[in-house]
Every structure is written in structure tokens, then in C-alpha cells.
Structure 1
Amino acid sequence: MRYRRFGKTNLPLSVFSIGTMRCLASEENARQTVQQAVSLGINHLETARGYGKSEQYLGAALKAGLPLSREQLYITTKIPPTPDADTMRQYIDESLLRLQLDYVDCLAIHGINTWEHLDWVQSGCMQAVVEAVNSDRVRHVGFSTHAPLEVILAAINTDLFEFVNLHYYYFFQHNAPAVELAHQKDMGVFIISPADKGGQLYTPPETLKHLCQPFSPLELNYKFLLSDQRITTLSIGAANPEELREPLTVAEGDEFLTQAEVEVFGRLETHLVETLSTDLCSQCYACLPCPENINIPEVLRLRNLAVAYDMTEYGKYRYRMFENAGHWFWGSKGDRCTDCGDCLPHCPQNLAIPALLRDSHQRLNGQAGRRLWE
């Protein structure tokens, strides 16, 4: 296992972190998963107030004893933004009680996803967080986000935070400016769910597997991220101890991309361009805002992946979150398009956006989905 400095926190975190959202089948399963992770060299454990019994289960695992002492482990919990300090004080107290801890190493404001959330932090709940830091109940403060890029950049620019948890993967690089800004400000960068949200890469389609040979798609995504020295750690949302095996095969690997890996990334890019041709959305985001609140770039990104790499199941998984996950995954589905044409003059590629939105909906629409921990 390799370890990297988590920005200005100066914490030496393992390059993989164990997220405990999915190992909730039982307290014993959570204990075994956490224990196995720590045995394999992971020293950063992450949970959240909103993850069902996750804090409670992690607290029990810590109480039962792990291969590392408390001083060698780094615990993060996440608490949602609140419009007032009193609610945040209550939430911090409750999280520490469930975790059976006197302090957490890191507290992340969970889901600064809108301008309103950012306002709450600046004018409301941050007072309680600062009090917790001053009383040594919280050592370091950051935030997690599923927000549009402009909100993420604004949150980073408040200079209130020491780290950020965000989405950034080979198949979703739109948040690259946030990674760079965080790096410039010496913030730790924690990548959320690279296996799952990064493309359901633990169950890749045959087309994608073939294009990635001799590597697995999951391995390549991990290498893409870990070759970036601005990034500190990647989340593994293991549901059980067995799911720790494949990610950790790259934990000791070279920190730079090999020539063979670079060639595969080139192959993927060439295939994307050749397959989609004049229908390829370049993800410039110039088409926004949409009068019908359609998240046009994200809808078309999912179409890109489905057409080029046969990542249709992943596309359906994400597409069905539209209109069902609130601020965690904003936007309406493609069938909401009214052919108003507002987006067309702004597209530098002259894409037939309304037609592509309808095609995306036909390919990807299915049963409505919700976030796992809801």
C-alpha cells in the first residue's frame, strides 16, 4: 500500500480508502470488511450520518479492535449542511456517539450540491464546525459534492476547507478544474466511487473489456487516477471483504502510466471518436442552461458511453436517477425536450441536440432509481 499526504491536513492516507456505505448487510459483515481493509494497509475509513447504520457499525468495529491502533487510523464522517449552527452541533454530537469516539480526524460537509447549501455553510452551520475544531472533537474539515462545477469551484474558493470529495474519473473529466484548484490551494483530493459511479467498472461490457486489453477497465481507471499526483486517495465502496481484492492489486503499482497503458487510453479515445462521428458530444457544457432543466451534457455523456463502449447498463443506472435523486443528481430526462432550440446556437459541434436527447431517452430510460443509502 502506498500513502500520500492529504493536502494541508498533512495526514498520510492510504491511496485507497474504505467507504462504508455498502457494507451494511450486518454489523458482522461491516466489521469483517473494515478489518480486512485495515489488514491490507488501508488506514482511512469513511462513513456518513446518512448511511443508515454505517456510523454505528463502524463504531462497533473500532470498539472490537482493528489491526491498527486508533492513532494509526484516520476516520472521516460526513454530515449534511444545515441552515443553522444548533442543528449541526446536534449532528456532530450524535455522530461521535454512534462512532464511540472522542474525535474524528476529518469531518466533511456532506453534499454541498447547490448555491443554497454553500450559503448555509457560510452563514449557518460552519460556526458549530469551528467550535468542534477548537474543542478538538474534529481535527480537519472538508466537503463532499455532487454539484455543478461552478458550485464546487466557489466552495473551494471560500478557503474554509482542507479537503474535497468529488467525482472525477477517466469517463468523467469535467471536474478537472476543481481538482487543479484544490491542488493549488493544497487541499486533499478524495475521489468518490471510481468503480461504481466511474462506470460500473466491476462488471464491464465485453466491448469495453476488449478495448482495454491486456488491462481491465477498472484497473485502468484506478491507474488513470493514481498516476495523478494531485489526487490523494480513492474510495472503495466494498460490500464485503471479497470486493477489496481487485482494487488493491494496483495499490503497490507504479505511480506513472506505462507506455502500454497510454496506448490503451489512446485506443479508447480513437474508438469513441470513430464510433460516434458527428454525434459525439465533447462535453463543453455550452448548451446550458436548458429551459426544461435537462442536464444535456450528462445525458449525452451517457449516450456517448453506451454507443461507443456498450456501457448501456451503466447509462441506464445513472439515467434513471434523473428526476429521482434531487440535488444529488440534478436534471430532467431527455424526453422533457420541447424542441425550443435554445441550445442549438451554442453548440460548437452543431449537434442535433433535441434528436440526440430523444435517442438517449429511448436507449436508457427504465425504472426510476434512488441513491443506495436512501
Structure 2
Amino acid sequence: MRYRRFGKTNLWLSIFSLGTMRCLASESSFEKTLNSAIKKGINHLETAHNYGQSEQYLGNCIKRGLPIKREQLYITTKLPPTPDVEQMRQGLKQSLSRLQLDYIDCVAIHGINTREHLAWVESKNGCFVALEEAKQEGKIRHIGFSSHGSLELILSAINTDLFEFVNLHYYYFFQRHEPAIARATQKDMGIFIISPADKGGRLYTPPQTLNNLCQPFSPLEFNYRFLLSDRRMTTLSVGPANPEELIEPLKCADRDYPLTFEENCVKEKLETHLSQSLKTDRCSQCYQCLPCPEEINIPEVLRLRNLAVAYDMTDFGQYRYGMFENAGHWFPGNKANRCTECGECLPRCPEQLKIPELLLDTHECLNGVSRRRLWQ
């Protein structure tokens, strides 16, 4: 296992972190997965106030004893933003109680997803006040945030200079947030990449087309290597349901060097195939089509279409598309069938895409069962 400095926190974290949202079938299963991860070199654990019994299970495991000392283990928990400072105080108190700890290494504000959330954080009587108090009292060591919001919102949160680390979505198949990676690096913030297997493309069950294009690597392996080859990233989350699901990701646990010639060839092959498959229908993800009067997240809809058409990632596309209109600020935007063909987006598109036609095509292809976030 390799370790990297987590920005200005000066913590040295394993390049893989254990996310605990999926290993909640039982406390026994949770403990087996946790102990296996620690024995394989993982020293950073991520839980959250809203992850079911995750904090409680982790606290009980710590109480019973772990394969390493508490001082060698770094724990992050996450609390939702709130305009009420007292509510944040109570939430932190509950997390400390569930975890049965005197202090928590890192606390992230969980989901600064809207401008209103950021305003709550920046308010003189907002939730950040409670975290800063707790830090001064030694109850928490470092403060960060996660976001499922727009790039512009994430950059605004980074630029407040309130935070020491950020939890971000960024993968080979979603590179929109690269400017946030760059800005966080300038600010010496720790960068924690969340859900690279699942939100990164459901890469644990890839389609055969994608398997073929990534040979001699698996798509999951290639995505991990794409991320780990970038020294700006500190750590990647892995969210196993059981110890066996740690095996595949941790094959890359000591492979954090630059991309090899073979890996760069795969990268070039994927890009070439994308262009050839989509031809003049390819959305370049410039986001100039926004805002949409019907609040359709046009670039994200067309990104899912890009992936489905080029790489047969239809299952992933249906999984994500089904969250529109169903996951609130965690995945904002209306479904593509809301398009009224008003044409406002057309003159703004540098590729001159027939956006209304592509939106309808995407809806017909990807509209399936509506989905909510796993922990809901």
C-alpha cells in the first residue's frame, strides 16, 4: 500500500480509503470487512451521519480493538449542512457518541450541493461555526466538505479558504471537475475521490465493449490507474460489501506511478472509439448549452448518451438517468422528455448539435426504473 500526504492536514493516508456505506448487512460482516481492509494497509475510513448504522458499527469495532492502534487510523465522518448551528452541534455530538471516540480526525460537511448550502456554511451563525468550535476544543482535527453540485459551486466552496480537504467526483469518464482538482491543489487541500467504481461508470460490471477496449486491463483497473497516476489525488474510496470485494481494487495499491505506454495506448483507444462512434453527435461537455428553461441538465444527459453509444454503458446510463427528478439536490435536473424544443440551447452549442433530438433519443434509451441514493 502506498501513502500520500492529505494536503494541509498533513495526515498520511493510504491511497485507498474504506467507504462504509455498503458493508452494513450485519455488524459481523462490517467488522470482517473493516479488519481485512486494515490488514491490507488501509488506514483511512469514511463513514457518515446518514449511513445507517455505519458509525455505530465502527464505534463498536474500535471499542473491541482493531489490528492497529487508534492513533494509526484516520476516521472521516460527514454531517449534512444546516443553517442551524445548534443542529450541527447536536449532530457532531451524536457522531462522537456513536463512534465512541474523544475526537474525530476529519469531519466533512456532507453535500454542499446548492448555493443555499454554501450560504449556510458562510453565515456567522451557520453550521461551520459549530465545527470550528469543536476543532478548537479538540473534538475534531480537520474540516472539509463533499459536493455533488456544479463545478462553479465547488470552486466557490474551495475559494472560501474554510476547508482543508474536499471529497470529489472525478474519474476517467467524468473529468468535468478537473479545474476543482487544480484549485484545491493550489490551496494545498487534501483530495479524496469518492465512488470511482460505481459513480465512475459501474466499472465492477462493465459491458463487453468496454472490456475489449481496455485490454489488457479491466475497465476498473484502468480507471484506478488513471486516477492514481495523478499525484494531486490523495486517496480513492473503495466501498466493498464484504472482504472479497477488496481484492480487485487493491491490486493497484502499490501502482501509483505515471501511466505506462500500454495504459496510454488504452486511453488513446478509448478516445478514438468515442469519436468514431459518435461522429457529429458527440457532446464535448462544454456546458455552454445551460441554463435550460426546463431545468434539464443537458450536458449530463448527453454525457450518459456518449457513454451508452460509444461503450455500451447503457446499464450505467439507466442507473444515473433514473436519478433525475428523484434524488433532489444530490442529482439535480429534469428528465430529457421535459424538452419543449424551445431552441434556446441551439445557438450556444459550438458543435451545433441537434440537442432536442439527442435529448429525446437519450430518454427513450435510458429511461427506466427511478432510483434513489443507496442510503435512502
| TM above 0.5 | yes
After superposition, what is the alpha-carbon deviation per residue over 1:267-295, rounded to whole angstroms, capped at 9, x for unaligned? 00000000000000000000000000000
1:66: Cα distance to partner? 1.2
User: What is the match of residue 84 of structure 1?
Assistant: 84
User: What is the match of residue 62 of structure 1?
Assistant: 62
User: What is the match of residue 119 of structure 1?
Assistant: 119
Q: 1:272 is aligned with what amino acid?
A: L
Q: 1:142 is aligned with what amino acid?
A: G
User: What is the match of residue 75 of structure 1?
Assistant: 75
Q: 2:313, 2:86 → 1: CA distance?
A: 45
Q: 1:131, 1:165 → 2: CA distance?
A: 22
1:225: Cα distance to partner? 0.3
Match among 170, 191, 197 for residue 195 of structure 1? 197
User: What is the match of residue 286 of structure 1?
Assistant: 288
Question: Aligned to 1:4, what secondary structure does the other structure show?
Answer: strand
User: What is the match of residue 253 of structure 1?
Assistant: 255
Say if 2:2 and 2:256, in contact at 8 Å, map to a contact too.
no
Say if 1:6 and 1:13, in contact at 8 Å, map to a contact too.
yes
Percentage of pairs with the same residue: 69
After superposition, what is the alpha-carbon deviation per residue over 1:1-60, rounded to whole angstroms, capped at 9, x for unaligned? 000000000000000000000001011111111110000000000000011111111111
Instruction: Describe how 1:256-267 pairs up with structure 2 within 5 A.
Output: 256-267=258-269
User: What is the match of residue 20 of structure 2?
Assistant: 20
1:254: Cα distance to partner? 4.5
User: What is the match of residue 101 of structure 2?
Assistant: 101
Q: 2:45, 2:119 → 1: CA distance?
A: 29
Match among 211, 229, 233 for residue 209 of structure 1? 211
Q: 1:136, 1:314 → 2: CA distance?
A: 42
Instruction: Describe how 1:224-235 pairs up with structure 2 within 5 A.
Output: 224-235=226-237
Q: 2:107, 2:214 → 1: CA distance?
A: 37
Say if 2:240 and 2:246, in contact at 8 Å, map to a contact too.
yes
Q: 1:269 is aligned with what amino acid?
A: E
Structure 1 runs of 4+ with >3 Å offset: none
Say if 2:45 and 2:76, in contact at 8 Å, map to a contact too.
yes
User: What is the match of residue 359 of structure 2?
Assistant: 357
Say if 1:115 and 1:151, in contact at 8 Å, map to a contact too.
yes
Q: 2:136, 2:68 → 1: CA distance?
A: 27
1:255: Cα distance to partner? 1.3
Q: 1:63 is aligned with what amino acid?
A: K
User: What is the match of residue 332 of structure 1?
Assistant: 334
Say if 1:31 and 1:60, in contact at 8 Å, map to a contact too.
no
Say if 1:46 and 1:75, in contact at 8 Å, map to a contact too.
yes
Say if 1:88 and 1:125, in contact at 8 Å, map to a contact too.
yes
1:266: Cα distance to partner? 0.1
Q: Does 1:308 align with 2:310?
A: yes
Compute the TM-score of the two structures, normalised by the length of structure 1. Answer: 1.00
Q: 1:190, 1:22 → 2: CA distance?
A: 18
User: What is the match of residue 136 of structure 2?
Assistant: 134
Question: Aligned to 1:158, what secondary structure does the other structure show?
Answer: coil
Question: Aligned to 2:363, what secondary structure does the other structure show?
Answer: helix
Question: Aligned to 1:272, what secondary structure does the other structure show?
Answer: helix
User: What is the match of residue 3 of structure 1?
Assistant: 3
After superposition, what is the alpha-carbon deviation per residue over 1:137-159, rounded to whole angstroms, capped at 9, x for unaligned? 00000001100000000000000
Say if 1:32 and 1:241, in contact at 8 Å, map to a contact too.
yes
Question: Aligned to 1:52, what secondary structure does the other structure show?
Answer: coil
Match among 146, 162, 165 for residue 160 of structure 1? 162
1:63: Cα distance to partner? 1.3
Q: 2:77, 2:193 → 1: CA distance?
A: 15
Q: 1:347 is aligned with what amino acid?
A: C
User: What is the match of residue 344 of structure 2?
Assistant: 342
Question: Aligned to 1:340, what secondary structure does the other structure show?
Answer: coil
1:61: Cα distance to partner? 1.4
More displaced 10-residue stretch of structure 1: 229-238 or 246-255: 246-255
Q: 1:294, 1:207 → 2: CA distance?
A: 29
1:132: Cα distance to partner? 0.3
1:191: Cα distance to partner? 0.3
Question: Aligned to 2:108, what secondary structure does the other structure show?
Answer: strand
User: What is the match of residue 45 of structure 2?
Assistant: 45
Q: 2:57 is aligned with what amino acid?
A: Y
